[in-house]
Structure 1
Amino acid sequence: MRCPFCGHIEDKVVDSRESREGDAIRRRRECLKCGRRFTSYERLEELPILIVKKDGRREAFDPHKLMRGMTAACQKRPVPLGRLEEVAGDIQARLMEMSDRELPSRQLGEMVMDALKGLDSVAYVRFASVYRDFKDLPDFVKALEGLMVPPPSPVPAARPTVPVRPAPPRPKAQPQPPPADGLPFASTPLFPGVEPEPPGHPKRRKTR
C-alpha cells in the first residue's frame, strides 16, 4: 500500500484488529522507507440490496429506515429496544443470504409483519394498517382475524356412573317345629268342622 507521507509502496503490518461492528479489519502499517506509520481498513465488498417499490422504482435497503418503522409501530408498547434491534438484524441477515439482490417491497413488509406478530399484536396491527393502507373497518377485521385463536371444541361431559348396589343376602330358612300330633307333617281335616279322632287302636266294625 502506498505511504501517504512519502509515496513509497512497500510497508509492513505492525498490528491488526477487528472493528467494533465486526464488518472491517483495522491494520496499522509502517512505511519501510520513511518509517512513519499509518492506518488502513479492510472491508468485505457487498452488493447493495435494492427494494422494488409498487410503482417500479428501486432504492437501496436502509436498515435505519426499517428500524424507524418498527419503533414507530411499537411506540408506547412493552417491547424492549434491544429486542427490536435483534429482529431488525435477523431480517437484514435474511436479505443478505438471498441470491437475488432485488426484493419487492411487499415481501419485505410481510417479513416485518411476521416478526411483529410474534412481538406485540398491537404493533402488528399498527404496521399492517400503514403498510397495507387500510381504508375501512373490514380491513382491520381481516388483520385481526390472523391474531384470533379458534376456541377449543367442547368436550362432551361424561355420563355419571350409577354405583351398582349388591343384592341383599337372602334370609336363611328357619327350621319349623314338629306338629303337636307327632306326625312329620301338619295334618288337615278332610271335613272342616269335624274333629279328627285321636290316634289309637282301630275300632272294630260290628257285624250283623
Structure 2
Amino acid sequence: MKCPYCSFPDSKVIDSRPKDSKIKRRRECINCGARFTTFEEVEKPLLMVEKRSGSYEEFDRKKLITGVYNAIGKRPIPINVVNEIADYVENYFANALKSVARSKEIGEIVLDRLREIDPIAYIRFASVYEDFTDVNSFIEVINEVERKRMEDKNG
C-alpha cells in the first residue's frame, strides 16, 4: 500500500478489524513512519439479470431493496432484514459462481425469505412479482399462506 504522505510503495499493517462489510486496517509507512487507515472490501463478481423480456441488465441492489421495502410497507420488520435479504441474493449467486441470474430466480428467492419473515409482506411482493391481474390470484396466495400457517401451528 502506497503511503499517502511520502508515496513510499510499502507499509505494514498495525491493526486490522472488521467494520460493516469491510475490513479497516491501520497502517504505518516503513519509510517515514506516518500512520494512515485503509478500508478493504471483497469485490463481488458482476451479476447480470435476464429479464422476462429476454433483455439483460446489471444487477441493481438498490432496485431489489426498494422492491422489498415496498412490500414491507409499514410492517414491523427491522431495516437490517431488508439488507440481509439483498446480501443473501448476492451471495447466493456469487457462491454458485453464476454471472447471470433470471429475474424469476431472484423473485423466488425473495419470496422464500419473505414467506419466513412476514405473510403480509410476502403477499404484497407476490402480487407485484407474479403480476396479479384479478382477485382470485390474491385469494389463492392468501389461502396458501393460511394453509402454511395452519400446518406450522399443528406441527
TM range (shorter): 0.7 to 0.9
* Post-superposition CA distance 1:15-36 (Å, at most 9, x none): 232341143342413141x444
Separation (CA, whole Å) in 2 of partners of 1:14 and 1:135: 59
More strand by share: 2
**Distance of aligned partners of 1:6 and 1:79 in 2 relative to their CA distance in 1, 3 Å threshold:** closer
**Distance of aligned partners of 1:27 and 1:121 in 2 relative to their CA distance in 1, 3 Å threshold:** same
More helix by share: 2
- Partner letter of residue 110 of structure 2? V
* Displacement after TM superposition at 1:38 (Å): 4.0
* Displacement after TM superposition at 1:76 (Å): 2.4
* Displacement after TM superposition at 1:47 (Å): 1.0
Separation (CA, whole Å) in 2 of partners of 1:8 and 1:79: 49
RMSD: 2.9
Q: How does 1:16-31 map to 2 (within 5 A)?
A: 16-31=15-30
* Displacement after TM superposition at 1:108 (Å): 0.5
Consecutive unaligned residues of structure 1, counting only runs of 5 or more, are 153-208
Separation (CA, whole Å) in 2 of partners of 1:104 and 1:137: 27
**Matched residue SS, 1:56:** coil
Stretches of 4+ aligned residues off by more than 6 angstroms: none
Separation (CA, whole Å) in 1 of partners of 2:17 and 2:64: 27
Percent sequence identity is 33
Separation (CA, whole Å) in 2 of partners of 1:36 and 1:78: 48
**Distance of aligned partners of 1:114 and 1:12 in 2 relative to their CA distance in 1, 3 Å threshold:** closer
Aligned twin of 2:8: 8
* Post-superposition CA distance 1:128-174 (Å, at most 9, x none): 1111211122322332342242989xxxxxxxxxxxxxxxxxxxxxx
- Partners of 2:8 and 2:29 within 8 A in 1: no
Q: How does 1:192-203 map to 2 (within 5 A)?
A: none
Aligned twin of 1:143: 141
Consecutive unaligned residues of structure 2, counting only runs of 5 or more, are none
Report which stretch shifted further, 104-113 or 43-52. Answer: 43-52
Alignment length, in residue pairs?
150
* Displacement after TM superposition at 1:14 (Å): 5.0
* Displacement after TM superposition at 1:54 (Å): 1.6
* Post-superposition CA distance 1:69-127 (Å, at most 9, x none): 22211212233334444444333332331221211001100111122122222221211
Separation (CA, whole Å) in 2 of partners of 1:35 and 1:83: 43
**Distance of aligned partners of 1:145 and 1:39 in 2 relative to their CA distance in 1, 3 Å threshold:** same
Greater RCO (CA < 8 Å, at least 6 residues apart): 2
- Partners of 1:24 and 1:44 within 8 A in 2: no
1:103 counterpart (82, 101, 108): 101
Report which stretch shifted further, 39-48 or 98-107. Answer: 39-48
- Partners of 1:14 and 1:30 within 8 A in 2: no
Separation (CA, whole Å) in 1 of partners of 2:146 and 2:96: 32
